[in-house]
Structure 1
Amino acid sequence: MLAADSAYAMPLATTIRSVAEANASAWPLEIHVIHDGIDSATQQRIFDSSPRGSVTIDWHAIDVSLFASDYVPLPYISRMTFSRLVLPSVLTERVGKVLYLDSDILVLGDLSPLCDIDLSDAVIGAVLDPLDAEVKRNKRGLEKVPRVGHYFNAGVLLVDLGNWRNAQVTEKTLNYLDRFPKSPFSDQDALNVACDGLWKQLDSKWNFQCEPHESIVSAVDAGRPAIAHFVTKSKPWKPSSMSVNAARYDAVRARTRFARSMPEIAREEIATLAHKLLKRSSLVRSAWSLAKSFRNARPAMIAQSRTEDK
């Protein structure tokens, strides 16, 4: 199960492609996508981005404003993040367990060992978030992050839907967000509260939460993550991220129907070079800032000049 809006069509297609390529022995994979506003043509383009016969995709349209109109996610996160809170209402009861993945992910390994994990009475299986340690030390001004036994990252969730329903997770998360609509990490905070003491900790390889400078490719295969999750706003497909994983990500994207065109590659290479120069040189940064200020001020200057001429 994944979730995305139209702005995330390319990352969604890339994630699904990575899932398919790393799990060929399980074809056809049953993929479900919760979406808000992805039209049929784009849906077909996403489907065609994976190898023929590798996946089936069921599309589930929802209106996120119905349950998220007052909630405040981080500025770089889409409101589609709240859609994971209603998983049981999207899937029929024939589905006992589901693997939820964010769309800023590359799957690098076989997922069957993850899917075969016995959750027993746990609602979900998840990986600790680095915030688990930082919240306890009250760093980064995270005093408002809910205090729980341990704090997990919600980008990869192995969900027992029966246990979820029995524990009324959806109801508890929405109730939490009604009470704390500006909770720093919104739905992730809500899930941590609702599942406190009811989740199973998974090995970190199932949700390797990497910063732009952390490589997902290891010389030793045993040290390679099975799921790489690009958790910050600096995504590897953005030139400004200067991510060490940009080439690895683009190699998968290039095999989808969202591959970059030659003009796009040229523009983004120039943009990446510019960002590198800006990062390294305070003089260039000052010049760049001055140039932007002049560019922004120029229309007003021209208008004033024309007024004076009159």
Structure 2
Amino acid sequence: MTAETTHTHPLLQTCERAIKQRTTLNPCGVEDSDIQLDVGWGADGDFLLGCEISMASLAASNSGIRFHFHLFSNDTSQLDQQKLIELARQHELRITLYTLDNDYFAQLPTNRLWSSAIYYRFMMAEVLSLSISKMLYLDADVVCQGDVTELLEVDLQDNVVAVVPERDATWWQHQAEALDCKALEQGYFNSGVMLINLDAWRKEAVLTHILRLVADQSLHAKLTFYDQDLLNLALADKKMFLNSVYNTQYSLNYELNSAKRKQFNPNCIFMHFIGPTKPWHLWGQYPSSQAFQQAKRHSPWKDEPLQLPASTYQYRYCYKHLIYQKKILKGYEYFFRYLLRKLLSRR
């Protein structure tokens, strides 16, 4: 970082201090000039396997693109770097790991479902904006099953992001009223897949705007989707929309409801597994999660075990799904474990 850059971007000093370590894995010696697309993920421990399979799915579906993957996490010690090196070698790509100090995010609102990891994307965009002009951001629960070449040609113009809208105009109206932002009537987006114009991100001082919003205590009660709401407020008039194939959302909990189950549409480029049940969970194994299962099967993590429930909340969904899947004995085993945790008031 040059002295001029530090002076121009004072917030970057804070961001840089929050990065305790950077580790670059580049077994094939990929040069900067070779890279066609930078892609970023941010996650903590519970979502790291999702990130790894998301990476593997994108690389396997796009052998003609040379990638640089960036993973921001406070739990990088949990990563098997040998498997990441194997992925980088298999697909001739570069991977950089950023170990974060979680204290940096302590002042940001969280809840039971959303940890401070949801804010890693803000830091990611701010830090990477120093060295690259465009990046693709993906949530850990996004699986690629198609060609993303067209994203390389998207002209973002002066927009900060290209994104997929969330739901429909009725929902946009609801969010506009809930967040007291009339501009959202023209579109509220899902932040799980974002093509980010990093030059515009820096020019518009988006991180400064977001931190200003976070400092407004009266806003906290209005936030439902936390980081996503903040991004929508900050970028209300600085976005363009992509086709929904780039962020097709589906909750594996819909499997428990026949009417909602009909919403599944496998014909997309990015399948986004929203909701608390993820395809790397023991109880989330359905035909609808096949994209994840296939990517895992052909990745260095093919033998990695699926995650078991770790909280009372997860035990609840675990037993419901297993019973629905007619794994009766195992389902009732987890049902009694769930009741025991409830009685002992464990989270």
Band of TM-score, shorter chain: 0.7 to 0.9
Partner of 1:185: 225
Question: Kindly tell me: are residues 251 and 171 of structure 1, through their superposed partners in 2, closer, same or farther at Cα, counting changes over 3 Å?
Answer: same
After TM superposition, what 4+ stretches of structure 1 lie above 3 angstroms from structure 2?
Answer: 142-147, 213-216, 239-244, 271-281, 287-299
Partner of 2:74: 36
Q: Deviations over 1:147-182 (max 9, x none)?
A: 323210111111111111111111111111221345
Q: Distance in 1 between matches of 2:287 and 2:110?
A: 27
Helix, strand or coil at the partner of 2:64? helix
Q: Deviations over 1:43-85 (max 9, x none)?
A: 332342466243210122222331x213233523332110111
Of the structure 1 ranges 38-47 and 154-163, higher mean CA displacement relative to structure 2 is found in 38-47
Q: Determine whether 1:4 maps to 2:49.
A: no
Q: Distance in 1 between matches of 2:339 and 2:196?
A: 53
Q: Note the 1:146-161 alignment, pairs <5 A.
A: 146-147=180-181, 148=184, 149-161=186-198
- 1:250 is aligned, of 284, 293, 299, to 293
Q: Determine whether 1:101 maps to 2:138.
A: yes
Q: Note the 1:162-181 alignment, pairs <5 A.
A: 162-179=199-216, 180-181=219-220
Is the contact made by 1:3 and 1:102 (CA closer than 8 Å) also made in structure 2? yes
Unmatched runs of 5 consecutive residues or more in structure 1? 218-223, 300-310
Partner of 1:110: 147
TM-score (norm 1): 0.77
Q: Determine whether 1:55 maps to 2:98.
A: no
Of the structure 1 ranges 106-115 and 31-40, higher mean CA displacement relative to structure 2 is found in 31-40
- State percent identity of aligned pairs: 20
Is the contact made by 1:102 and 1:156 (CA closer than 8 Å) also made in structure 2? yes
How big is the shift at 1:185? 1.0
Q: Distance in 2 between matches of 1:297 and 1:2?
A: 34
Q: Determine whether 1:79 maps to 2:116.
A: yes
Q: Determine whether 1:25 maps to 2:64.
A: yes
Helix, strand or coil at the partner of 1:71? coil
Q: Distance in 1 between matches of 2:108 and 2:343?
A: 39
Helix, strand or coil at the partner of 2:208? helix
- The code of the aligned residue for 1:230 comes to F
Report the count of equivalent residues. Answer: 281
RMSD: 3.5
TM-score (norm 2): 0.70
- 1:199 is aligned, of 226, 239, 242, to 239
Q: Deviations over 1:158-216 (max 9, x none)?
A: 11111111111111111112213452111111111111111111111111112223445
- The code of the aligned residue for 1:5 comes to D
- The code of the aligned residue for 1:232 comes to G
Partner of 2:54: 15
Is the contact made by 1:123 and 1:195 (CA closer than 8 Å) also made in structure 2? yes
Q: Distance in 1 between matches of 2:286 and 2:300?
A: 22
Is the contact made by 1:34 and 1:62 (CA closer than 8 Å) also made in structure 2? yes
Q: Deviations over 1:252-280 (max 9, x none)?
A: 1122333346xx57x99xx9996356459
- Whose Rg is larger? 1
Partner of 1:275: 320
Partner of 1:308: none
Helix, strand or coil at the partner of 2:275? coil
Helix, strand or coil at the partner of 1:121? coil
Question: Kindly tell me: are residues 60 and 137 of structure 1, through their superposed partners in 2, closer, same or farther at Cα, counting changes over 3 Å?
Answer: closer
Of the structure 1 ranges 35-44 and 57-66, higher mean CA displacement relative to structure 2 is found in 35-44
Partner of 2:4: none
Question: Kindly tell me: are residues 289 and 58 of structure 1, through their superposed partners in 2, closer, same or farther at Cα, counting changes over 3 Å?
Answer: closer
Helix, strand or coil at the partner of 2:90? coil
